[in-house]
Amino acid sequence: MNLSTVKVGVVRLKISRRTFLSIVGSAVGAAAVYSWAETLRIEVTRLKLDLGLKLAFLVDTHIHFFGPVEEQVLKLLYREDPDVILHGGDIIDEYTRGLEPVKEYFSALDAPKKYAVLGNHDHWSNRIPELSAVLRRECGFQLLLNDVVEVSGWRLFGVDWRDDREYPLINDVDIVLAHDPNVSPQVRGARLILAGHTHGGVVVGGITVISNSIYTRGLYPLEDRGILYVSRGLGQILPFRPTSPLELVIIE
Ligand SMILES: [Fe+2]
Ligand SMILES: [Fe+2]
């Protein structure tokens, strides 16, 4: 076929500036409604690792109030009945007014053991002493600030957030609980790394458009570092989650 004979049809639509702006406005509005709807929809992700115990992983709750999402998470966890609840940080943020919703929500999270690390927004809220006391005394959480604990024979290490994102080498542990997935290159020999912070970024057609980490969402097999799972989390600062519904992760 001679390419010069191929005709490409181009349809030119003449529309007024007002119509154009109206179309753009409608598209932006639809995207905003869709992004808002994703702040209410929770997907449960299951990882099968034969750990011999059931872990529930929450992260990025950014608690501002106790609402329908928090109620739904409690119902899901009641059904799952995990042995351990892990929180990967960004429990609150700078827009959290009081810690009453934290008490209501986190004291109702039911599991024999509950551990948490702190995220960047927990630190930036300047309420760490108050938050730590509430988590420990009223909600039954143990904070892991670069500490290790043994859980059913597994060594669990919790990594505290660093603003410079320069983390120390992490050796000789089985499970790493971190806020920042950028911890991963520093981990040696672990079986599982759990992280959040990205809120799943913005991913369109499998292409990452926006992310604040080299790891954006989901499962990453890592050489000699086991696997990294980056959760999209269960909350946000502003009520928009484009392309990124909420996520509760269950690991067994
Ligand atoms: Fe967050
Ligand atoms: Fe964060």
Do residues 156 and 177 make contact, with C-beta atoms less than 8 angstroms apart?
A: yes
CATH topology (fold) of 34-251:
Purple Acid Phosphatase; chain A, domain 2 (3.60.21)
pLDDT of residue 155: 98
Check residues 244 and 224 and name the one with the higher pLDDT: 244
- DSSP 8-state class, residue 186: G
Mean pLDDT of the chain: 91
The answer to whether residue 249 scores a pLDDT higher than 90 is: yes
Q: Which helix (H) or strand (E) element contains residue 21?
A: helix 17-37
Q: What's the mean pLDDT in 211-231?
A: 92
Encoding tokens for residue 149? 């604990």
Q: What's the mean pLDDT in 177-200?
A: 96
Of all ligands present, the nearest one to the C-alpha of 61 is: 1
* SS3 assignment, position 223: coil
The answer to whether residue 184 scores a pLDDT higher than 50 is: yes
Rg of the chain in Å (alpha carbons):
21
* Span from the CA of 46 to the centroid of ligand 1 (angstroms): 21
* Helix pair angle (68-80, 100-108), 10° resolution: 20
The answer to whether residue 76 scores a pLDDT higher than 50 is: yes
pLDDT of residue 168: 93
* Span from the CA of 93 to the centroid of ligand 2 (angstroms): 9
Q: Residues within 5 Å of ion ligand 2 by Cβ? A: 90, 119-120, 197
Check residues 15 and 110 and name the one with the higher pLDDT: 110
Of all ligands present, the nearest one to the C-alpha of 213 is: 2
